[in-house]
């Protein structure tokens, strides 16, 4: 269980880093790099989401998940990273529009 939770944290953290790097790339006008970084962000979020889905399926199958602060922390990382990803896409789009003018 701890390994799954730590993978969730690690993949969410990596995705967050890629999203922040993509915003910076867009600020610098490097939109191709921003797009590549967002693809990496999505890949890491896919891994994190798979870990979360495994936990949910396990519990739905009757294997009760023990509540832990680490699990709450992992969920927090995932949810804030998903929000950041959505905001990063919007910020990149704004920078593209500004750059086009």
- Could you list the active site residues? 73
DSSP sequence for the chain: -HHHHHHHHHHHHHHHHHHHHHHHHHHTT-HHHHHHHHHHHHHHHHHHHHHHHHHHHHHHTT-PPPP-HHHHHHHHHHHHHHHHHHHHHHHHHHHHHHHH-
């Amino acid at each position: 269980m701890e390994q799954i939770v730590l993978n969730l944290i690690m993949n969410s953290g990596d995705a967050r880093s890629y999203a922040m790097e993509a915003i910076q790339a867009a600020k610098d006008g490097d939109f191709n790099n921003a797009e590549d970084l967002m693809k990496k962000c999505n890949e890491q979020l896919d891994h994190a989401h798979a870990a979360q889905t495994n936990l949910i399926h396990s519990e739905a199958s009757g294997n009760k998940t023990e509540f832990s602060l680490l699990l709450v922390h992992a969920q927090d990382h995932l949810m804030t990273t998903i929000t950041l990803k959505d905001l990063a896409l919007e910020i990149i789009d704004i920078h593209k529009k500004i750059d086009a003018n």
